[in-house]
Amino acid sequence: MLESFIVPLLAATVQSGTPILYATLGEILTEKGGILNLGVEGMMSMAAFVAFAVAYTTGNPWLAFICGGLAGTVMAMLHGFVCITCLGNQVVSGLALTILGVGLCNFLGTPFIGLAAPGFSKFAVPVLSSIPYLGKIFFRQDALVYFCYFIPFIFMIFMNRTRLGIAITAVGEKPGAAAAAGLKAVKLRWMALLGGGFLIGLGGAYLSLAYTHLWANGLAGGRGWIAVALVIFAFWRPGRAVFGAYLFGGVMAFQLRLQAIGTHIPSSLLLMLPYALTILVLIFSAVRGRGGNAPSHLGINIEPEG
Amino acid sequence: MKGPQDLTRPDSQKATGFADAAPLISLKGITKRFGKVVANKDISLDLYPGRIKALLGENGAGKSTLMNMLAGRFKPDEGYIEVDGVRKEFTSSKDAIKAGIGMVYQHFMLVETMTVAENVLLGQEGSFFINPREMNDRVRKLAVDYELEIDPTARISDLSMGEKQRVEILKLLYRESRVLIFDEPTAVLTPREAFRLFEALWAMTRLGKSVVFISHKLEEVMAIADEVAILRRGAIDDEVMRDKITSKADLACRMVGKEVLLEVTKEDVEIGEKVLEVKNMTGIGLRGINLHVRKGEVVAIVGVAGNGQQELVEGVSGLRKPPKDTIFIMNKPWRKFFAEMTWNNSMSYIPEDRLDLATARNLDLVDNLLLTTGKGFTKGPFLQRDKAAKVAQELVEEYDVRPGRIQALAWQLSGGNLQKMVLARELYRQPHLIVAEQPTQGLDISATEEVWNKLLEARKMAGILLITGDLGEAVQLADRVAVMYCGQIMDEFPVTDTAKLDNIGLLMAGVRE
Ligand SMILES: Nc1ncnc2c1ncn2[C@@H]1O[C@H](COP(=O)(O)OP(=O)(O)O)[C@@H](O)[C@H]1O
Ligand SMILES: [Mg+2]
């Protein structure tokens, strides 16, 4: 049971949690700067498509991965133009971005359906992969998963130990205070938004480069929304985001496996599992009353002063 | 608690050696407009090293606006700023900070979730990575050097107001600001904390820094200032050295100003029954208040802001519950009056805060009319909005509210037009008692005249309780004047008693002969 079911399940958990983790960290960075971006689903979709198209045409998966990130940045730019430059409503703009991204990805992606592109494959890390159980779970993955192990640490150091990270936090909490301290509040918001967009884009790229190597429409499959919910569950902290992302990765992997084994539970109920968990997780966060952890100026635009 | 006398600066605290230094900062002909409101009009001001300049003026006089421009937050529409005799343009706070100018804002600019040290170092240039231990040590040392003890690792949200202010001061000191601006710094402090602040300010002048101290509290200005500039209606009204001010009363007179800007003719109207009676009211910050207003009368409450006027208004207008059996409106006890209050033939309140209390800024004039008169425009469960629109249009025309469109939103109106609209609405209710709080603050002469005339006309139906910081307004409108100081009424006398009127500064400063 342990060898044949649990270990492979946990290994699959890590893999399916990875894109969610990229996206959640990206959204945390965005929100830390004070911008609410509900376009994650659309951004991941577009990034997955761009990454696939680049990999298909150039055959270079690393270039494709970076281009996926840049696709996220470009989508974030649209959001920034509406919300930061034109002071538009962040919720509406984010929703529009999702609809745009998902729609455009399906439209552009249709000719590619069923095609395969070179991507990342799994390889075992010497030494580490021979640790019993853990080796199989964590160290027989693809390069992007290994890369992702470092990101939460870098993220934590960035937010707490660098001037830029603290300045971004200040802008999300109280842009007026940041401006009075001589910071360029608007510029910092742009940086957080674009940086976050890049990470979200990497999450999307993972889906078409490593999670599967075949193109199919609707690859994001709700992961963007889960990431948005996870930010709240994580109380805007990267450590908890890791936990949350793998939790969801686990549920997704589990429901796939159950379907594969062929239980008599209807598959639509199983497909529902991640979203039922999303609701549970949000209730849990609300009950713990830590919504107060949100950056105080989250979702509020910076109005120019006299 | 320290008495006001104790606030004076001991000789040991005097800054010396800056006697004939050149000005650090010169403001030259600064004008600033917000839409149609002229917040500052052609202001010129010099700040010298080693001296404390007090900016004294009523709320809305334009003190904060002026200093916000010096701190780089706003840009002046006209005029410019010189630092060390060199003309500078500030495009953001950053430029002002670079020029050595720092400001402690009226509402603190601190990030509540961050630590003291993080706040102090926020926006400072330096290495990409920070070392928290070193950062804390640096802030701790700075705090010790200036005797502003504070734990650098404490979170701002855990600090008291006095401590938060100390963090703000540390921010300025860390940046080695040469000009320190304090916007009403004592408003949030206990008297003990206020005295500690004064000591800190004196210490800074001894280091040759130039301090600007914004206040409307006379004692403090008397105690701390080397020079006093008085702002009224956006312009510098008077600028004196502290030595030339003989007493608090003298300062009070200078602040309220006595020159007649405007005169209106006041016809006699018939005096009717009592519409407001305050009997021996003690509580909610007031002591032993006795007062009455009869129909046809204007009773003016004058005094320096913050001496209990607000509490009195809140009590009378129903915003705050007064002690039992102290306030009677139209011969009914307070509780009964407000329980039975009707939309018309009752009481009208014209608040000082036009844009957020008197009106809803994002609603149009019809909806703003309905705010207090809604019950007059209902038919069963339905609101007769078209009827209200017609009335609003009539009022707009009658009171000459510009632009004459009832679709305009409240915030789009200039202060004077908005006030006329509020007045139109409140008088439409045919009140028997009107509470008017600073009704012409921030208005230009012509709007002031119109408001005064309307209020005088309203005496035919109502008694008026007028709260004002402008003595000229009291003299023009009132039949009787009551002077408030520290929650008490110092004296009450007919406006015709010129002897008392001449001594009103003493009363406002809390001195009884
Ligand atoms: N940001 C702003 N937008 C519009 N009007 C403003 C703004 N700031 C101040 N004002 C107006 O300018 C005038 C002066 O205000 P302020 O400088 O805050 O006065 P003070 O600090 O002396 O109480 C007031 O009439 C106020 O309503
Ligand atoms: Mg002010």
* B141 in a structural domain: yes
Q: Taking CB atoms and an 8 Å limit, are A182 and B93 in contact across chains?
A: yes
pLDDT grade for A144, boundaries at 50, 70 and 90 = very high
Domains held by chain A: number:
1
Using a CB-CB distance cutoff of 8 angstroms, which residues of chain A are in contact with residue B111? 169-170, 173-174, 177-178
Does the residue A122 lie in any domain? Answer: no
- pLDDT for position B264: 84
Is residue B121 very low, low, confident or very high in pLDDT (cuts 50, 70, 90)? very high
Which residue range is the domain that position A51 belongs to? 2-117+127-293
- Confidence (pLDDT) at B125: 84
Atom of ligand 1 nearest to the CA of B442: 25
B452–chain A Cβ distance below 8 A for any pair: no
Q: Which of B376, B470, B363, B377 is nearest to B422 (CA)?
A: B363
Which pair of tokens denotes residue B212? 């600007």
Q: Does residue B485 contact residue B270 with C-beta atoms inside 8 Å?
A: no
Whether A42 has a pLDDT exceeding 60, the answer reads yes
User: Does residue A170 belong to the interface with chain B, where contact is any CB pair within 8 Å?
Assistant: yes
Ligand 1 center to residue B164 CA distance, Å?
Answer: 24
Residue B329 has pLDDT above 60, yes or no: yes
Domain-located, residue B318: yes
Residues B447, B349 share a domain: yes
Same structural domain, B351 and B499: yes
Say yes or no: B118 contacts chain A, CB-CB below 8 A.
Answer: yes
Has residue B97 been placed in a domain? yes
Using pLDDT thresholds of 50, 70 and 90, give the confidence band for residue A148: very high
Mutate to test the pocket of ligand 1, among B30, B37, B255, B443 (most ligand atoms within 8 A of CB): B37
Q: Are residues B218 and B288 in the same domain?
A: no
**Residue B62, ligand 1, Cβ within 6 A:** yes
Mean pLDDT of A156-165: 95
Query: Helix (H, G, I), strand (E, B), or coil: what is residue B72?
Result: coil
pLDDT for res B347: 95
Nearest CA in chain B to A176: B109
Structural domain contains residue B458: yes
Distance CA B84, CA A93 (A): 48
Reduce the DSSP state of residue A231 to 3 states and report it. helix
B50 with B193, same domain: the answer is yes
- Taking the C-alpha atoms of residue B324 and residue B328, their distance in angstroms, rounded to an integer, is 10
Q: Is residue A99 part of a domain?
A: yes
A21 closest CA partner among A158, A254, A276, A223: A223
- Whether the pLDDT of residue A27 is over 70: the answer is yes
Give how far Cα B273 sits from Cα of B338, B421, B433, B463, Å: 19, 28, 11, 9
User: Domain for residue B125, yes or no?
Assistant: yes
pLDDT for position B258: 57
Q: Please enumerate in sequence order all residues whose Cβ is within 8 A of that of B204, keeping only pairs 6 or more positions apart, or say none.
A: B180, B211
Q: What is the mean pLDDT of residues B373-390?
A: 92
Half-sphere exposure of B387 (CA within 13 A, CB side): 10
Q: How far apart are CA B386 and CA B377, in angstroms?
A: 9
The verdict on B122 touching A (C-beta cutoff 8 Å) is yes
Asked whether residue A306 is assigned to any structural domain, the reply reads: no
State the average pLDDT for chain B. 89
- As a whole number, mean pLDDT of residues B371-390 equals 93
Instruction: Give pLDDT tens digits for B276-311.
Output: 999 999 999 899 999 999 999 999 999 888 889 999
Chain B residues in contact with A181 (beta carbon < 8 A): 93, 97, 109, 119, 122-123, 171
Classify the phi-psi angles of A266: left when phi > 0, otherwise alpha if psi is within -120 to 50, otherwise beta: beta
**Could you tell me if residue B130 is inside a domain?**
yes
**A96 inside 8 A of chain B by CB:** no
- How many structural domains is chain B composed of? 2
Say whether both B332 and B241 belong to one domain.
no
Residues B232 and B279 in one domain: no
pLDDT of residue B37: 77
Q: B30 lies in which domain range?
A: 21-245
Question: Which residues of chain B make contact with A184, given a CB cutoff of 8 A?
Answer: 92, 94
Instruction: Answer for the pair B485, B507: CB distance below 8 angstroms, yes or no.
Output: yes
B302 and B378 belong to one structural domain: yes
Residue A300, in any domain of the structure: no
Asked whether residue B206 is assigned to any structural domain, the reply reads yes
Query: CB distance A179–B92 less than 8 Å?
Result: yes
Centre of ligand 1 to C-alpha B434, Å, is 26
Q: Does residue A2 register a pLDDT over 70?
A: yes
B149 and B197 together in one domain: yes
- Residues in chain B within 8 Å Cβ distance of A174: 109-112
B61 lines ligand 1 (CB under 6 A): yes
Count CB pairs under 8 A between chains A and B.
81
Per the confidence metrics, is the pTM higher than 0.90? no
List, as ranges, residues with CB under 5 A of the ion ligand 2: B 64
* B278 and B239 inside one domain: no
Give the residue from B191, B226, B245 where a domain finishes: B245
Q: How far is the CA of B59 from the centre of ligand 2 (A)?
A: 6
**Is the residue at A298 inside a domain?**
no
Q: Is residue A265 part of a domain?
A: yes
Give the closest-approach CA distance of B282 to chain A in angstroms: 40
In chain A, % of residues over pLDDT 90: 79
CATH of the domain at B194: 3.40.50.300
In a domain, A299, yes or no: no
Q: What is the CATH number of the domain that holds A177?
A: 1.10.3470
For residues A200-211, give the mean pLDDT: 96
Return the pLDDT at B35: 76
Q: Convert the pLDDT of each residue in A249-302 to its tens digit.
A: 999 999 888 888 877 888 888 888 888 888 888 888 888 765 568 899 999 999
pLDDT at B451: 94
